Structure 1
């Protein structure tokens, strides 16, 4: 059964795409993804010599974005022993840039109405089994209260379908609503301090509106960089069918003054090696145009969704072994970027990938049904969700496991409020200086979370990590800085909140 578009929806669809905001960035009428060139580079860089691979690894350790030929060489690697070297260096790169911290967040789905018809998506327009809903602002507030006041999240990625009911004005209002929430906790208060947005491509004027209201990172996935595959999966007559409108949305965001943008691919739609190359082309294009690359890169794998047979039919499913490889290659190719491993993956895969030391961010206590946090349902109700979640564990459980691995969970958002964003943060990341700020603030925010939300078992594991971090900082930072840290740390233990460097 096909959904029938109302006249006002059709008018809205016809008004969205601004061709002049695409053409201004294109060169000779072409976009920056050349499918034939990508395949040619993958072909030309087959059977790379071990010495070349090791030279590439050293370049990545200097936190330089790799050239496409260098990424292609890594993707063609066959030797298991050399792959282990790749994994080891990828972990060293992450440690150099981000130290041993992991940032946590939660997704908040505000609506599942959508005018698009993407064949792999549970929320596609013609999927009649999905229960459609858009949260009211009061419902958004209740969701935020649970996330900030009961679970303890400080960051959200807020997700919207592409529909006039959840357009830019609704997004603006939900961001303002979420930032307004402040909930009493055991020893302090809960509050969302950074609202990142996963939404459809927008115009420059619309993105300026979101910049004014305090948008965090603007995240849009290209889904697949392969032109023909993209056209097949996103039917004609939909907004999303326009490849270049989506491809250049990060350009428009940066031009609009949004500080941080995020890239991603849905692995399983096309060949994973091609998609990794596409991500590197995209990162280098942003660096060339704006002097900064993506703040984060995500690499979700295709998951089952209600009444969505394409998921079972695809020829491009990514194995667990190849999944680990593509993560390592992205980490080395774009060494400064944050890397997000989502709860799409089952717990055992997340455990293995995080333990490998390449990841900077992950979600927890994840629910992706509309209104799912305050509704309290616990079963996998696919007719309420875009896809099936692989790891539904609580934030407390995930943090305890991270602590037992030796990672500190950071809830820090200080860098964004201190102006360490956009081009200002790139040099700090590439030199490792941002890792010091982050380590200081990770200790403070982790102390805050342990006192306000942790179970006794998690608190016990967390205390050991904090002590290790304090010992490292005492030996690493100037005496004056360490004394200020200890002062802030004591004030937080006494009930003050949101102190940062």
Structure 2
């Protein structure tokens, strides 16, 4: 199994069909019969087409949205089971040459304290995250001349090299970095990254120009083409995203779906993940002070559900921008990856800071300030498996190979045992005693509900972890 060989882009991409977008973005809400017809199709786990997604996005009543959420929960459970992947962002620097009006890192923000982490500081941040129990990180920086590919590769090498007192290390590092050339993407791949993520921010070209008045990021098409260049360079897993609140959320979701369809058509594999951040207050960022296109909690839950129903095999990432209460609700309704214990300021993990001090260094304000242990405890209360698994990536189940397993429903046989093994590791090495008891009870309860072969593997893995083995996966 392998990815389709493609030719280079010779013209600017035109996969965002503006005329169709205008039409679909203004559809009226379907009646209940039509809504149930679309939901029934989604429950077959084969996804939805663009028109059907647009119809569901037009739903407005709480009852209709709850129907979508229930269906999204079913789809996520059928494909991935109860696992929820956990990670943390590590910001290596907040210097930036762009002037994005919604971002605290913007170059015109003179109130922000600028920091670039040294190798030693990156190692210290990584060690602190390991001590909390993290195994998966997301590396981020601003866009500045000093954040060269050499700097990025140094940061990756440093992060992978750190060990805590238990001998644990970071097993997967995803990156969220500025767009780059195909040649630099090839170098980036040599750094053993996981998923490459880059948000379009908004797919509306006119609004995009307004929000990005200066800097390399002002080039709309350079950013829009970034996933083509990344995949052309051999990066299997890419992650799409927009910043909800910058434009009409319905058109943004539909544009992201068009982008996903373009990647699927050109490379034989769509995005590995989609991210759904909402615009939050940021120091020195005027657009964040008054959100141009607010997205209510109800509409936000709806768009998460529609993404899950339309792209059933794609990971949906929910950040700590959202409140603990809303995140806890969405844990059950289609989200499959969440950050926990996050800081969005360079060096933020290694020192105690007040909320005000943290805000003065950060890209944006956080809504969920819970620690990793508190998020894990919350997930366990819902019967969800906090997973630090990296097995698929290290076994080569990435890109189209991953989708070949996901679409017939085979990926779950790896996700559940591997996720539970990493959960058992966390419980043994990092969890408070009460959480450990709760977690071990959950593992046994889940094992008891599985067919014998899977149940036996889960129990055997847990026993091996209790006996001192680590990093068990298939």
Match of 2:153 among 154, 169, 172: 172
**2:62 and 2:298 in contact (8 A); partners too:** no
Q: CA deviation at 1:361?
A: 0.9
Partner of 2:4: none
Distance 1:155 1:418 in 2: 16
Distance 1:79 1:320 in 2: 13
Match of 2:368 among 391, 411, 431: 391
Partner of 2:469: 496
Partner of 1:345: 322
Match of 1:36 among 16, 19, 42: 19
Partner of 2:32: 50
Counterpart secondary structure, 1:110:
strand
Match of 1:181 among 140, 162, 166: 162
Is it true that 1:123 corresponds to 2:105 in the alignment? yes
Q: CA deviation at 1:91?
A: 0.7
Distance 1:69 1:408 in 2: 34
Partner of 1:12: none
**1:65 and 1:284 in contact (8 A); partners too:** no
Distance 2:403 2:422 in 1: 23
Is it true that 1:441 corresponds to 2:418 in the alignment? yes
Q: CA deviation at 1:482?
A: 4.9
Alignment of 1:75-86 (within 5 A): 75-86=57-68
Distance 1:53 1:283 in 2: 23
Is it true that 1:235 corresponds to 2:203 in the alignment? no
**1:68 and 1:277 in contact (8 A); partners too:** yes
**Greater shift in the superposed pair: 301-310 or 261-270:** 301-310
Match of 2:119 among 132, 137, 156: 137
Partner of 1:209: 187
Partner of 1:305: 282
Partner of 2:336: 360
Alignment of 1:16-415 (within 5 A): 24-25=8-9, 29-43=12-26, 45-148=27-130, 150-185=131-166, 189-236=167-214, 238-355=215-332, 357-381=333-357, 382-415=359-392
**1:443 and 1:469 in contact (8 A); partners too:** no
Counterpart secondary structure, 1:297:
strand
Distance 1:394 1:179 in 2: 23
**1:328 and 1:358 in contact (8 A); partners too:** yes
Q: CA deviation at 1:485?
A: 4.3
Partner of 1:13: none
TM-score by length of 2: 0.95
Q: CA deviation at 1:416?
A: 0.3
Q: Deviations over 1:38-58 (max 9, x none)?
A: 011233x42424333223223
Q: Deviations over 1:149-206 (max 9, x none)?
A: x101000011111112112221111111111111123xxx321100000000111111
Distance 2:8 2:220 in 1: 15
Q: CA deviation at 1:26?
A: 6.2
Distance 1:24 1:40 in 2: 31
Distance 2:457 2:296 in 1: 48
Counterpart secondary structure, 1:165:
coil
Go from structure 1 to structure 2 and tell me whether the alpha carbon gap of 1:500 and 1:343 turns closer, same or farther (over 3 Å shift).
same
Q: CA deviation at 1:466?
A: 0.6
Go from structure 1 to structure 2 and tell me whether the alpha carbon gap of 1:376 and 1:484 turns closer, same or farther (over 3 Å shift).
same
In the comparison of the two structures, how many residue pairs are matched? Answer: 467
Q: CA deviation at 1:365?
A: 1.2
Q: Deviations over 1:326-360 (max 9, x none)?
A: 111111121111111111111111112213x3111
Q: Deviations over 1:228-248 (max 9, x none)?
A: 000110114x21111111111
Counterpart secondary structure, 1:33:
coil
Q: Deviations over 1:309-335 (max 9, x none)?
A: 221233311111111111111111211
Distance 1:72 1:85 in 2: 16
TM-score by length of 1: 0.90
The CA RMSD measured in Å over matched residues stands at 1.7
Distance 1:314 1:412 in 2: 36
Q: Deviations over 1:358-386 (max 9, x none)?
A: 11111111111111111233434222101
Q: CA deviation at 1:30?
A: 4.9
**2:106 and 2:285 in contact (8 A); partners too:** no
Go from structure 1 to structure 2 and tell me whether the alpha carbon gap of 1:380 and 1:190 turns closer, same or farther (over 3 Å shift).
farther
Q: CA deviation at 1:24?
A: 4.3
Distance 1:322 1:42 in 2: 14
Distance 2:457 2:257 in 1: 40
Distance 1:196 1:205 in 2: 19
